[in-house]
Amino acid sequence: MIELRHLRTLIALRDAGSLVEAAERVHLTQSALSHQIKDLEERLGTALFVRKTRPVEFTRAGQRLLALAEQVLPLVRMGERDVARLIGHEPGRLHMAIECHSCFQWLMPTIDHFRDHWPEVEIDIPGGHHFDPLPALAREQLDLVITADPQPLSGVYYEPLFRYQGLLAVARQHRLAERAFVAPEDLADETLITYPVEHARLDVFTQFLDPAGVRPREIRTAELTVMMMQLVASGRGVCALPNWALTEYLERDYVKAVGIGEAGMWSTLYAAIREESREQPWMEDFLRTARETSFAVLEGIKPA
- Compute mean pLDDT per 10 residues along the chain, 304 residues long, and list them: 91 89 88 92 93 89 94 86 67 85 86 89 76 88 92 93 95 95 96 91 93 96 92 96 92 95 94 92 92 90 88
Structural domains of the chain, count: 2
Same domain, yes or no: 250 and 137: yes
Q: Is 82 in contact with 46 (CB distance < 8 Å)? A: no
Can you tell me the distance from the alpha carbon of 22 to that of 17, in angstroms, rounded to the nearest whole number?
A: 7
Largest CA distance in the chain: 65
Can you tell me the distance from the alpha carbon of 182 to that of 167, in angstroms, rounded to the nearest whole number?
A: 10
Same domain, yes or no: 19 and 37: yes
Same domain, yes or no: 283 and 194: yes
Can you tell me the distance from the alpha carbon of 260 to that of 264, in angstroms, rounded to the nearest whole number?
A: 5
Same domain, yes or no: 251 and 217: yes
Interhelix angle 60-86/4-16, rounded to 10 degrees, is 120
Same domain, yes or no: 75 and 138: no
Same domain, yes or no: 101 and 235: yes
Q: What does the pLDDT read at residue 129?
A: 54
Q: What does the pLDDT read at residue 104?
A: 83
Q: Is 282 in contact with 143 (CB distance < 8 Å)? A: no
Report the CATH number at residue 297: 3.40.190.290
Same domain, yes or no: 75 and 119: no
Total-model pTM: 0.74
Can you tell me the distance from the alpha carbon of 280 to that of 143, in angstroms, rounded to the nearest whole number?
A: 12
Can you tell me the distance from the alpha carbon of 290 to that of 282, in angstroms, rounded to the nearest whole number?
A: 12
Last residue of a domain, which of 56, 87, 118? 87
N-term to C-term CA, the chain: 31
Element spanning 169, H or E: strand 156-170
Nearest one of 196, 150, 151, 183 to 262, comparing CA atoms: 183
Report the CATH number at residue 19: 1.10.10.10
Nearest one of 22, 303, 15 to 160, comparing CA atoms: 303
Same domain, yes or no: 19 and 116: no
Q: How many residues does the chain have?
A: 304
Q: What does the pLDDT read at residue 101?
A: 74
Q: Is 133 in contact with 97 (CB distance < 8 Å)? A: yes
Structural domain containing residue 184: 94-304
Last residue of a domain, which of 71, 87, 103? 87
Same domain, yes or no: 198 and 136: yes
Same domain, yes or no: 70 and 197: no
Last residue of a domain, which of 37, 58, 87? 87
Nearest one of 231, 217, 168 to 189, comparing CA atoms: 217
Count CB neighbours of 57 within 10 A. 12
Q: What does the pLDDT read at residue 130?
A: 58
Same domain, yes or no: 36 and 146: no
- Distances from the Cα of 146 to the Cα of 104, 153, 171, angstroms: 11, 15, 30
